[in-house]
Structure 1
Amino acid sequence: MRILLVDDEALARERLAGLIAELGAPYRVVGEAVNGEDSLKFCAQQGVDLVLMDIRMPGMDGLEAAGRLAGFETPPAVIFTTAYEEHALEAFEREAQDYLLKPVRRERLRQALERSRRITRPQRETLGRVEREKIPQLSVSYRGGVLSLSFDEVIYLRADSKYIAVRHGAGEALLEDTLKSLEDRYADWLLRIHRNALVVRRRLKGLERGADGKMQVVLNGCEERLEVSRRHLPEVRRWLKGAPDG
């Protein structure tokens, strides 16, 4: 994987280059740039698979550069590296693969690089030419950083104190929101099974009765069973039978 480092601070580029060298193949730094303009020039002249991009830089910032890179015929994946958490939402609106907070830790970088490899270069070329299905994304807190999860990766969401625990294929993350707000915004994707839990509809596999006699949902990609309240049980059964909601 050919990687371009974009940051106006030489020490930040040096640290990232060192971490990538420690991770080794298939990751390889092929160039560095100090601002958005230089990153566009480099990507236009040489094939790059991934750009590790700072956000606040003199001249063209990282957000504008990422927006322009997305318009390339063969756009590279972009992972933002920044000390500022408040840009996360806008970053994911620019279709960033991930968002790493400085100082970037090696394990967190490794996870972000592995996630970016799931979209191959040929796939990115195709995505740059045709309209693709818009799968909703959630920006969640994960191991000191911010992570973008698509609903293809999410299994369920459960209220946990003042946060929402988001269970996904690789573990669990936290989201500051309410179940009601999420249910309203993503009604086509989420189904209420309990006052404290929503599940991704396509993850529903079946129902079973627990040892306490209460009904539980069986979910694809998850061994855990979640209780279904009597109030929401009819709707869950309708969905499993393929009947329209309501």
Structure 2
Amino acid sequence: MKLRAIICDDEEKARRLLKHLLEQCQIPVEVVAEASNLPDAVMAINEKNPDLLFLDIEMPQYSGLQILDFYKDKELPCELVFVTAYNEFAMQALRLSALDYILKPATLDVLEELLQRFEKNSQEKKKRIEVLKAHYDKPFSRIALPNSSGYQFVEIKNILYLEADGMYTHLFLNEGTPILVSKPLVDFERLLHDDRSFFKVHRKYIINLNQMNSFVRSTSEIQMEGGTLIPLSRHRKQEFEDEIHRLIPGRAEKG
């Protein structure tokens, strides 16, 4: 008996590739519907009653993770397989929930393993979705920094600022010595994109707004906890002032 699947991805090329790979799997899979957005996928689920939903995470209007909002009062009637390009926060949530996910571009070997797991065990779906809900609604408090022996975990709130150094980034903390990470600043910019406490004030610097002591408008300098002065790019000045007045009114000093 064939497994019934729905593919939801805003990119037609990605849907075609995934469908082509599923048709080659040893475990028979029939793609009964395709959708380019989450509401259409929910309609297809209700109409087609699939076994599996392959769901892209990053789509316009609705994130794939928001499917949980469409099933608040009833159980999701199919197994979820999230499809994602690299997104650290999303992937941490998926790992914690033990839900299946595949990285783009998908490969035949990965799909074969996934389908075998699905056939063996789909009994704990509800429990896993509840874990995902718990982590989806709140940001992660730590980030993992790769080093020579593995990973070092750092509380996000303890980061003072980040400074670019070519393809490396220095993380300055409110305690301890700075950490040099072999990742460019742009990687951290993406990672911290949804955390409104962090702001890129200069092409070389991202600061934690909650770790500021003062801002001197006349010199366009930000003093961080500990006394370090960070330059503010003139191109970012107005947006920065709007942001600090919205988030932490009263802490910015007039220069």
The alignment's TM-score, normalised by the length of structure 1, stands at: 0.47
TM-score in terms of structure 2 length? 0.45
